[in-house]
Amino acid sequence: MKRIRIPTLTVAEALGYCVESIRDANLVARLTAQSMSLNAAEEDYRLKGSNSQLYLIQETDSVGAQVTLEEMKSIYSNTFARKGSPARHMYDELRASAPGGICPLCGQRVVSTLDHHLAKSKHAVFSITPINLVPACKDCNTDSQARRPLHAGEQTLHPYFDSVDEEQWLVCQILAGAPPVVQFLAVPSAAWSDDKQSIVRRHFQVFKLGELYSTHAAVELINVYQDLVESSELQSPQEISLHLLSIAARRRRPLVNSWQAAMYQALADSEWFCTGGYLEISNSSLLQGLE
Ligand SMILES: [Zn+2]
Q: Which domain holds residue 137?
A: 11-154
Average pLDDT over residues 171-175: 98
Quick check: is 159 in a domain? no
Residue 204, domain member (yes or no): yes
Distance 144 CA to ligand 1 centre (A): 10
150 CA → ligand 1 middle, Å:
23
Closest-CA residue to 258 (of 291, 198, 206, 217): 217
Which residues, listed in sequence order, are joined to residue 291 by a DSSP beta bridge?
none
Question: Do 123 and 89 sit in the same domain of this protein?
Answer: yes
116 CA → ligand 1 middle, Å: 13
Please indicate, yes or no, if residue 65 is contained in any of the structural domains: yes
Q: Is 290 among the domain residues?
A: no
Q: How far is the CA of 88 from the centre of ligand 1 (A)?
A: 22
Q: How far is the CA of 271 from the centre of ligand 1 (A)?
A: 34
- The 10 Å Cβ neighbour count of residue 10 is 18
Judge if 236 and 150 occupy the same domain: no
288 falls in which pLDDT band (50, 70, 90)? confident
**92 CA to centre of ligand 1 in angstroms:** 17
Last residue of a domain, one of 105, 120, 154: 154
Indicate if 35 and 122 belong to the same structural domain: yes
Answer yes or no: is pLDDT of 200 > 90.
yes
51: left (phi over 0), alpha (psi -120 to 50) or beta: alpha
Ligand 1 centroid distance, CA of 86 (Å): 27
Residue where a domain stops, chosen among 154, 178, 205: 154
Looking at the predicted structure, is the pLDDT value of residue 290 above 80?
no
Please enumerate in sequence order all residues whose Cβ is within 8 A of that of 253, keeping only pairs 6 or more positions apart, or say none: none
Question: How far is the centre of ligand 1, averaged over its atoms, from the C-alpha of 263 (Å)?
Answer: 20
Cα 164 to ligand 1 centroid, rounded to whole Å: 16
The tally of domains found in the chain comes to: 2
User: First-to-last CA distance in the chain?
Assistant: 38
- pLDDT, tens digit, for every residue of 10-50? 999 999 999 999 999 999 999 999 999 999 999 999 999 99
Do residues 119 and 193 both lie within one domain? no
Residues 180, 130 within the same domain: no
Q: For the residues 199-219, what does the mean pLDDT come to?
A: 96
Residue 288 CA to ligand 1 center (angstroms) comes to: 30
Is there a single domain that holds both residue 122 and residue 149? yes
Average pLDDT score over the chain: 95
With respect to residue 215, please indicate whether it lies within any of the assigned structural domains: yes
Indicate whether 117 and 187 sit together in one domain.
no
C-alpha span between 239 and 268 (Å, rounded): 10
The pLDDT of residue 289 is 67
Centre of ligand 1 to C-alpha 175, Å, is 26
Nearest 10 degrees: CA dihedral of 127, 131, 137, 142? -40
CA of 102 to the centre of ligand 1 (A): 8
Residue 67 sits at φ, ψ, to 5 deg, of -115, 125
- Nearest residue to 154 (alpha-carbon basis) of 191, 198, 206: 198
Same domain, 15 and 150: yes
